Amino acid sequence: MSFFVIKTIIAGILFIAGLFALLTMLSLMGKTERKVSPKSLRRLHKISGFIFTLLLLVNSYLGLKYWAEAGDQLSTRAVFHGVLALGLLIILILKIVIVQFYKQFLKFAPVMGITVFALTFVVFSLSAGYFLLRTICAQPVTSELTTPSAPSLKGSRERGASLFTSKCASCHSADSEEAGNGPGLKNLLKKENLPSSNRPATVENILLQLKRPWRVMPAFSSLSELELADLLTYLKTI
């Protein structure tokens, strides 16, 4: 199971726990007649809040780990997602501190709770929601796409290895087929199909994946023809 699938599953459970915490809070605040006793609602709210906090910490750790490994290759969407997730975590911690230690500010807790859920929805949409949308809507049909031509320049394996280390190694392994943040690329061009898009394993389809990636991989459309030639030369040797 890939890194992004695991993170998406955790994010889905996190979102459901946050929604449940919000609904129990609103039921406690807004309904005069309740089918469930206030004591039970408060217990359910605490349990769902605990699950939400635990899963948020786990996903935050996974996100920070991905940030550290990706270096300067983060997409704008990923940066925006990370900043909002940090804001979400800070507001949640403030809410917990107020509820536990500063009860004179308890009147602000509901507003903070609603803010936490609103940010959760946005963060979920930017990460797990985006991943699911790309997965459902992805159409890896080569015939419908204009496949780039192989570079005419002669590449250098040494330069390609250096480029792979700086641009690709945070998600892909060159000496293994095991998946990390992305699939392992050992023997990539010796396979029948590429590991993610399932397109035929050709130089042209690797270029297509670099320029118009399938699913969540960032695009590398800024690479020059020489850099592409270097990278492809290196990929042929692993």
Burial of 26 from C-beta contacts in 10 A (0-12 / 13-18 / 19+): middle
> Residue 32 has what pLDDT?
59
> Residue 35 has what pLDDT?
74
Tokens coding 216: 């969540």
32-59: b (≥16 Cβ within 10 Å) or e: eeeeeeeeebeebbeebbebbbebbeeb
CA-based nearest residue to 128, from 83, 78, 195, 198: 78
> Residue 231 has what pLDDT?
92
> Residue 19 has what pLDDT?
95
> Residue 214 has what pLDDT?
74
> Residue 144 has what pLDDT?
47
CA-based nearest residue to 73, from 201, 196, 210: 210
Domain spanning 142-235 has what CATH number?
1.10.760.10
Our separate counts of H helices and E strands in the chain read 8, 0
Indicate the domain borders of the chain.
3-137, 142-235
The per-residue pLDDT for range 69-99, each reduced to its tens digit, is: 766 666 777 788 888 999 999 999 999 999 8
> Residue 143 has what pLDDT?
45
> Residue 31 has what pLDDT?
61
| Spatial separation of the C-alpha atoms in residues 98 and 207, rounded to whole Å | 53
Point out the residues of the chain with pLDDT beneath 70: 1-2, 31-34, 70-74, 134-151, 215-216
Separation in Å, CA 74 to CA 81, 106, 220:
11, 38, 11
Tokens coding 140: 């890896």
